[in-house]
């Protein structure tokens, strides 16, 4: 198992691409998160957790593991982000199998932010997951879904602090 992990992880970002190869580099490391989920009826729920990011595949990918405090491994989620220079974006795949959650998005820089939006062919409602206000010690993550009328509804907000 160690051999697989050694081959998967990468110490440095890959260089020499026309696309921003280090788009997610600012997120590499471990983060403490405070998460809040919002319902359309105005109610909300909160939880604390951790979010860990590592470079993979020679620096052309970034993978994370996300979960609430005390969750067993089967309840964690992971995102795989791989640079696709042919489309000038990162292909992003989220999976939390225990909850039946899966998403396919494209990630790009928007100014200093990272915005991930539903990929073509996505069969659910349009989603937008954004990393905003990124500093060396914190960031804000917003999870939004698009309504039929084109407006965006904020479903989840995570405030992250570097550990």
- Predicted TM-score (pTM) of the model is 0.89
In a domain, 111, yes or no: yes
HEC-encoded secondary structure of 49-117: EEEEEEEEHHHCEEEEEEEECCCCHHHCEEEEEEEECCCCEEEEEEEEHHHCEEEEEEEEEECCEEEEE
Structural domain including 136 reads 2-14+26-162
- What is the residue whose two structure tokens read 């067993």? 72
Dump pLDDT digits (tens) for 63-93.
Answer: 999 999 999 999 999 999 998 889 989 999 9
In a domain, 38, yes or no: yes
CATH of the domain at 100: 2.40.128.20
In a domain, 21, yes or no: no
Residue ranges of the chain whose pLDDT lies below 50: 16-19
In a domain, 20, yes or no: no
Count of domains in the chain? 1
């Amino acid at each position: 198992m160690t051999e697989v992990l050694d081959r998967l992880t990468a110490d440095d970002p890959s260089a020499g691409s026309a696309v921003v190869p280090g788009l997610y580099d600012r997120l590499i490391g471990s983060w403490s998160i405070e998460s809040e989920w919002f319902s359309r009826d105005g109610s909300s729920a909160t939880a604390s957790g951790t979010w860990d990011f590592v470079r993979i595949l020679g620096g052309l990918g970034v993978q994370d593991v996300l979960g609430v405090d005390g969750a067993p491994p089967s309840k964690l989620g992971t995102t795989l982000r791989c640079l696709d220079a042919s489309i000038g974006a990162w292909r992003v795949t989220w999976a939390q199998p225990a909850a039946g959650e899966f998403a396919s998005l494209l990630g790009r820089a928007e100014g200093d932010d990272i915005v991930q939006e539903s990929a073509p062919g996505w069969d659910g409602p349009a989603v937008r997951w954004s990393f905003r206000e990124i500093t060396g010690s914190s960031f804000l993550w917003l999870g939004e879904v698009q309504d039929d009328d084109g407006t965006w509804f904020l479903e989840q907000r995570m405030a992250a602090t570097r550990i």
